[in-house]
Each structure stands twice: as C-alpha cells, then as structure tokens.
Structure 1
Amino acid sequence: MTPRLHEDWRSVPPEARGAVAALGNFDGVHLGHAHLVRTVQLARPDAPLAVVTFEPHPRELFRPQDPPFRLTLPDERAAALGALGVQHIFQIPFGEAFSQMRADRFVEDVLHNALGLRHVACGHDFAFGHRRGGDVPFLTERAAELGFGFTVAEALTDANGPYSSTRIRRLLQDGYPERAAVELGRPWSIRGVVQHGDKRGRLLGFPTANVALGRHIEPARGVYACMVRLSNGHTYYGVANIGRRPTINDGQESRLEVHLFDFSGDLYGQTISVALHALLRAEKRFENLDALKGQITKDAEEARALLADRESV
C-alpha cells in the first residue's frame, strides 16, 4: 500500500478526514512504532488509518549543529508506514513558526478542526507544542473535551528495554545492521539518488553506484553485504562500502558506494534503496590499488555467499 501524503494540514481533502492517527516522529518505523500504529487501528478498526508526523524532525530544527542522525527520510518512512497498512500520512512542515504553536492550539486547530481525527494514540512520553507544553495528561483532557478518542500505547519492550530509534542508531554505529534489522522488522536501508563519482570503481573492475548519505545517520564505516532495490522494483545482491576511502586519500565526506552483482546498465539519476545486511569488515587503508582490488574481490565473494545462505534459510 502506498499511503496518501498530506503536507498542508490546513487544506486536508474531505475523504482524508475522520481517520484514526498515531502521533510521533516515526524515525525508522521500528517495531515499537508498528505497535503504536496497531494500537490506534484496534481502537477504531472501521476508520481510515493515518499517522501525524513532522518534517524535518524537530531535532533538526532545534539542534542544527548535530551530525546527521536520521534513520529514515520521508520516502523510506512512507514506504515502511504503508507496509503497516497506513493509508494517510499527515506530514506537518516543522519550521520556526509551527514550533511556536501552543499545545492547546495544536490539539484543537490541527488534530480536531483541520484533520477531523476520530481517535489518536501516542506513547507515554509524547510531548508537543511550544516548549513542549503539551503531554499525555493534557492530551487526555483536551481529547475528552473535544469529543475524540485517545489511547496511550504501552511501550513495546524486550530484554534490553523499550524499542527506540536511539537504540537502533547505536546498533548501526556499532556495526550491527543485522541486530538493527530485528528491531526494525526489516533490514535498515539508505534511499537516495545515484550520483556521478570519480569512476575509480569501474577502473578496479567493480563499478559502483554512489549515493550521498545526506541527512542519514552514518553507520560504522566499512564493507557490507547488501541488497539493492531499483526504482523499477527489481532487486540485486551487492557489496557496499561506507566511508572515506582512505586508500585513495580523497579526503571527502563519507559516502555510500555499492556494487550490484550481475547488473549492467546506467543508474545515474535514479533513486535506489540499499539495505545493509551484515558488516563484512571495517574500513581499512591498503598499500596500493592492486591490494585494494584483491580485497574487494574477496569482499564480493563473501557477500555473495552470505546473502545466498540467508536466502536459503
């Protein structure tokens, strides 16, 4: 399912009103988020299913000096929410003006009047409005006054505590994409447009598609076994490098370079999604390009074997 995206909360079409909605940032759309979506759906299974979220993430507005931290950007987030059955995404532009909106105005003007929600749900720590002036007790009271339903979803937990985007970021930065996949319910992916590079991969016999990390969090630098989904829906196994390529000393910011197995064609300008399955080795500087080429050959063989084994399970 592809959810319908609504980015102007002031002009929501009539057919999108009357939904039930989960509230939050939904960075990563992990199992805890899926639990929240199911909670609101069960409250009113007869109503359209929606989420109310924000773009950019409020942290990006209030702490612009922070390094990139996003697990999912809007397109990837929408795809993950669609897989949960979400029909409408109310993606509210989060700028300086909106950040000044009082909590009572957010509930009445946005949730009730503009979106016409029948029922909403959020986690116990959800806070909203100017200076986070609104919280769960406040929302409980205002929902009752305005006549729409409200549910506080219990946190989904495991032996390590509640599922959270913070936990998943830490796993990726520590080099454990397979553990992050368990908590996400799917492999973690970077989605972006293929850009022109310096063609060094082609000279080494391993042409690569280059994707800027942009606002995505940077996972552990190194070589990964991965699966690549093209814009036409076709998928390919591959081997990816994330890092600064110390062997050629390019001195640039970290980037994602992925070699697709058994693929030939031009990907420039296309949007691809690269799902990381396992970290094969950490980033390393080699003595020369021949040594690097030899290692890439081994990396590709290892990635093929690992992914084939997983497919057969």
Structure 2
Amino acid sequence: MKRIRVIRGWKDLSPDDRGAAVAMGSFDGVHKGHQQVIELAGRAAGEAGAPLGVITFDPHPRVYFRPDEPAFRLMKTDQQARALEKLNVDILYVLPLDAELAGMTDREFATKVLHDGLGARHVAVGFDNSFGKGRTGTPATMRQYGAELGFGVSVADPVGANGSKGGEGDKYSSTAVRQALRDGKPEVAAEILGRPFAIEGPVQRGRQLGRKLGFPTANVDLADYVAPRFGVYATRTRLSDGREFAGVANIGVNPTVHGVTRPLLEVWLFDFDEDIYDRVIETDLVAFLRPEEKFDSLEIMTGQVMRDAADARKVLGA
C-alpha cells in the first residue's frame, strides 16, 4: 500500500504537493459519512489524474474555539492518517488552526488557502460543511468560489445508518459515535465508523497491583479521547509490531484501588507476558460487559475480574 504523505501547512508547498482533489472537514473518526466525502474527492482525482488529498485542522476547531469543553476526540492524528491511508488518500493536509486561519473570511479561505496555497483542482465537502470566520461559508458558497477560482466542487449527501441518502433521519456523524460510546454501545460506534473505536497511547508505569493479583494490565491515559461509559469491555489490542491480542479492559477511575481523577484504560492482554512499558498500543473496544463498580475487597474484585475475562473470551472467541 502506498504511504500517505502528511503535510503541515498550506504555504510555499512544492509543486508535487499541490494540485490535488481534496476532501475538506475535521474527519474526526473518519466514519462512513466522512468516507462518502472522500469518495467524491477520489472520483474527481481519478478523472483529473490528480492526487487524492484530505484537508483537516490542528487543533480541531472545537478545541480552538471552545477549549474548556470536555475531551471529545475519536482518534489521534496518526490513527487518522492510517485510516485515510486505507482509503487510498495520497496527501493529508493538516492546516494549523491559528489566529490567521481563524480570522479569514470564507472568501479569503477559498482564495488564499484552497486556490493559492494548495492549488486544489477539486474540493469535496459534506452537506453540512461550514468554513471561514463565523462559519459563514457553506457548500453553496463553495460552489460559487469554485466557479470563480477554477476548481470543481462536489457535495456529499447525508448518509443514514440504513444507507439512505438525503433524509433527515439518523445520520452517520462523529456526534453519534461519541453518544454511542458514552452509552456503552461500542458496537453502534463501530457500525458508524466502519471499524471498532480504538484508544491509542503509551503504556504507563503503575503500581503493578494487577500483576500481583494475577491479571497484569497495561494502563493507558485517555488523554483527549472522548470518555466512553465507565466499565468493563471485551477488547483487542495491537502492539507496535503488529501482533494482536484479545483481552478485557476497565475504563474509568478504578474506585476499589485508587480512585484516580483521570480516567484510564486498564487492559489485560490474554496469553501475553512481556514488558511493554512506554510502548504505544492501540486497543479496540469490542463489547461492553458491565459498568464499573467499587468492591468491598481486592479478593472480591479479583473474582469478578476473572469472570469478566471468561465473558470477554466468549465474546471474542479467544
């Protein structure tokens, strides 16, 4: 598979990095609705013999304009790049959302960034896309600027969970993914995403209490991820070398042991016994097994963890 190129910025690009047919949006999750937008850009790229590009922003506009809101991200930038690579995207343009970019009118953005900076040959957007200061730009104004500046424009229809287009029913959206995760329904999130929701991060060094109790866990800070419903999940975890292991995980603050204030993913990898501290792992949430709870003793907790592990193995066929 061809490797995606990640380009940060839109100024002074080389000729090889300009002239793509691009899909524009935040693409947090790269869910099935996002994939429709990217598919439109891909068709235009094929017709024009141009690279397929995706435009996204860092930080996410919601972080930039509403920094005090709770964490909400569905993926990190490297996860996003891998998901886009699987969709045959050639270039990921990560535009720095700073005062200059945030202050541009929709016309200035179309002219300076899309036309002058990226030299976009085609721009695909979602039906609800907005851009420019005050979010005044719409798909209709994008079509207008494309006609004026010489790039094609296509607009993706809303796509529902039943595959219908154009309706106002349940639409694939990042908001719907977040709600499904908060509700403890990872299978619903996976249906919208087209793959399981996954948490990626370095394994932290902890008290190693799990190892002493017979279930060693790899602990990963949720950081900027949306917090799924606290509880126990059947999981699959990938190591950096590509190996994958079934497991069971608790997401939450582990009130029985330490009651930490920042939620953690604590995953027990089945049939695995290696030192992976500080290594990056990625864990899929496959099924919700039960809510997080506080136990009266470590012995009672250990017994429940063993039952959780048995339940997870059944779900995963492990």
**What interval of TM-score do these two structures reach, taking the shorter chain for normalisation?**
over 0.9
- Supply the AA of the counterpart residue of 1:101: M
2:32 matched residue in structure 1: 31
- What displacement does 1:251 show? 3.5
1:116 matched residue in structure 2: 119
The answer on 1:214 being equivalent to 2:217 is no
- What displacement does 1:101 show? 1.7
Distance 1:224 1:256 in 2: 10
Q: Which of 281, 291, 313 is equivalent to 1:282?
A: 291
- Supply the AA of the counterpart residue of 1:301: A
Q: Which of 311, 314, 317 is equivalent to 1:305?
A: 314
The answer on 1:242 being equivalent to 2:243 is no
Distance 1:11 1:272 in 2: 36
- What displacement does 1:175 show? 0.4
> Could you tell which deviates more after superposition, 147-156 or 90-99?
90-99
Distance 1:11 1:3 in 2: 20
- What displacement does 1:135 show? 1.6
2:154 matched residue in structure 1: 151
Aligned ranges 1:179-258 → 2 under 5 Å: 179-258=188-267
Distance 1:231 1:12 in 2: 32
2:12 matched residue in structure 1: 11
- What displacement does 1:125 show? 1.5
1:227-255 deviation line (CA, Å, top 9, x unaligned): 00111111111111100101124342211
1:71-101 deviation line (CA, Å, top 9, x unaligned): 1121111111111111100011112332112
- What displacement does 1:62 show? 1.0
Aligned ranges 1:92-107 → 2 under 5 Å: 92-107=95-110
The two structures have a TM-score, normalised by structure 1, of 0.95
The answer on 1:67 being equivalent to 2:67 is no
Distance 1:298 1:161 in 2: 36
> Could you tell which deviates more after superposition, 13-22 or 219-228?
13-22
- What displacement does 1:161 show? 2.0
Distance 1:266 1:95 in 2: 40
Mark the runs of 5 or more structure 2 residues left unpaired by the alignment. 163-168
Q: Which of 150, 169, 176 is equivalent to 1:167?
A: 176
> Could you tell which deviates more after superposition, 7-16 or 217-226?
7-16
**Local SS of the residue matching 1:137:** helix
- Supply the AA of the counterpart residue of 1:254: P
**Local SS of the residue matching 1:158:** coil
- What displacement does 1:11 show? 3.1
Distance 1:308 1:183 in 2: 23
Question: In percent, how many aligned pairs have the same letter?
Answer: 45
Distance 1:42 1:123 in 2: 15
